[in-house]
Amino acid sequence: MIDIKLIRENKEMVKENIKKKFQDEKLPLVDEVYEFDEKWREARKKADDLRNEKNRMAKEIGTLMGQGKKEEAEQMKNQVRQMNEEIEKLEVNEEEYQKEITKRMMVIPNIIDDSVPIGKDDTENVENERFGEPVVPDYEIPYHAQIMESFNGWDKDAAGRTSGNGFYYLIGDIARLHSAMLSYARDFMIEKGFTYCIPPFMIRSDVVTGVMSFAEMDAMMYKIEGEDLYLIGTSEHSMIGKFKDQILKEESLPITMTSYSPCFRKEVGAHGIEERGIYRVHQFEKQEMIVLCEPEESMTWYEKMWQFTVELFRNLDIPVRTLECCSGDLADLKVKSCDVEAWSPRQQKYFEVGSCSNLGDAQARRLGIRTKKNGETYFVHTLNNTVLASSRAMIALLENNYQKDGSVKIPKVLQPYMGGLEVLVPKNK
DSSP 325-356: PPGGGS-TT-SEEEEEEEEETTTTEEEEEEEE
Sheet holding 247-248, edge to edge: 247-248, 370-373, 376-379
Give the separation between CA 182 and CA 85, rounded to whole angstroms. Answer: 62
Give the separation between CA 198 and CA 239, rounded to whole angstroms. Answer: 9
Q: Is the pLDDT of residue 275 over 70?
A: no
The amino acid that residue 14 corresponds to is: V
pLDDT tier for residue 271 given thresholds of 50, 70 and 90: very low
Q: Is the pLDDT of residue 280 over 90?
A: no
pLDDT on residue 165: 87
- Domain layout of the chain by residue ranges: 4-105, 122-424
DSSP-assigned letters across all residues of 304-332 = HHHHHHHHHHHHTT--EEEEEPPGGGS-T
Q: Is the pLDDT of residue 134 over 60?
A: yes
Give the separation between CA 26 and CA 97, rounded to whole angstroms. Answer: 19
Is it true that 4-105 and 122-424 share their CATH fold?
A: no
In whole angstroms, how far apart are CA 155 and each of 137, 363, 424?
28, 39, 18
CATH number of the domain at 4-105, out of 3.20.20.60, 1.10.287.40, 3.10.180.10, 3.50.50.60? 1.10.287.40
- Each residue's pLDDT tens digit, 24-33: 999 999 999 9
- Calculate the average pLDDT of the chain: 93
Residues sharing a CB contact under 8 Å with residue 61, sequence separation 6 or more, in sequence order: 73, 76, 77, 80
* Residue 374 phi, psi dihedral angles, 5° rounding: 50, 40
Q: What percent of the chain has pLDDT above 90? A: 83
pTM for the structure as a whole: 0.89
Task: Report, as an integer, the average pLDDT of 65-81.
Answer: 84
Q: What 3-state DSSP class applies to 131?
A: strand
Residues sharing a CB contact under 8 Å with residue 222, sequence separation 6 or more, in sequence order: 230, 231, 264, 265, 266
pLDDT on residue 273: 45
- Each residue's pLDDT tens digit, 345-381: 999 999 999 999 999 999 999 999 999 998 899 999 9
Task: Report, as an integer, the average pLDDT of 403-428.
Answer: 95
CATH number of the domain at 122-424, out of 3.50.50.60, 3.30.420.80, 3.40.50.1820, 3.30.930.10? 3.30.930.10
